[in-house]
Structure 1
Amino acid sequence: MSEGIVVAQTGDVPEGEAIKIDAAALGTVDDIAIFNDDGDFFALDDTCSHEEASLSDGWIENGVVECPLHSGKFCLKSGEVLSMPATRDVACHRLIVEGTDIRVVPNPERLAS
């Protein structure tokens, strides 16, 4: 059995879009956003580190997600903040694609206690 939790199928996440996975399903402190950037999939905490906005509602392009509220940008690969007004990174989670299954391995630092 592979590690991680199956959260979606690749067809569930249209290209250039994202879906939100409820924190309760993964045991994490924040919901997790699964992004599809030109067929590459990434997983980050869903809440922007600047304000309470859902990154899964943001714009995705060239390995970057832009927050829909104030346009802060984050690297999809690492969660690193790339532009103001955000100043703190968001957590990145390991993602495994097996066939059409998308599995998330939650970042141990972001597990709910």
Structure 2
Amino acid sequence: MTNWTRACACDDIETEDHIRYDNSDRTFAIYRSPEDEFYCTDGLCTHEEVHLEDGLVIDHLIECPMHNGQFDYRTGEAKRSPVCVNLKTYPVKVEGGDVFIDIG
């Protein structure tokens, strides 16, 4: 079942950056790639459940602000220890200058 939810305006996110989006009791991170594409993952690191909002984005990687583990935000794949569990990713679409995520 599709559940598209407006998360933000495209202009709310700088290129090669991300923002936090909270919906009910869930936290997401929404990213804008160097290619100007948008992605969404869970907003908490799978290692210590730290919010990724203060993490550094470089190319297609998000670095956890606590222990510097890295994930590829396009796929959720854990790329550098201490993280070893992938992030969950969510479908994203852009319509009328807004970013929508399918939170299921």
Q: Specify the TM-score bucket, using the shorter chain as the normaliser.
A: 0.7 to 0.9
Structure 2: 5+ residue stretches without partners? none
2:28 to 32, 50, 54: 32
2:10, 2:99 → 1: CA distance? 6
RMSD between aligned alpha carbons? 1.7
1:74, 1:30 → 2: CA distance? 19
- Give deviations 1:5-45, integer Å, cap 9, x for gaps: 11111001122221111131xxxx63011111222211000
- Report the AA paired with residue 100 of structure 1: G
Matched, 1:7 2:13: no
Could you tell me the TM-score, scaled by structure 2's length?
Answer: 0.88
2:65, 2:94 → 1: CA distance? 27
1:37, 1:103 → 2: CA distance? 16
Structure 1: 5+ residue stretches without partners? 109-113
Matched, 1:97 2:88: no
Q: Which residue of 1 aligns with 2:22?
A: 22
1:61 to 47, 58, 62: 58
Q: Which residue of 2 aligns with 1:50?
A: 47
Structure with greater helix percent = 1
**Taking every aligned residue pair, what percent have the same amino acid on both sides?**
27
SS in 2 for 1:11: helix
1:43, 1:69 → 2: CA distance? 20
* Cα offset, 1:96, TM superposition: 0.5
Number of residue pairs matched by the alignment: 102
* Cα offset, 1:77, TM superposition: 1.0
On the 8 A contact 1:34/1:56 being kept in 2, the answer is: no
SS in 1 for 2:48: coil
- Give deviations 1:50-91, integer Å, cap 9, x for gaps: 113111221112211111111111011111111100110111
Structure with greater strand percent = 2
- Report the AA paired with residue 58 of structure 2: E
2:63, 2:73 → 1: CA distance? 10
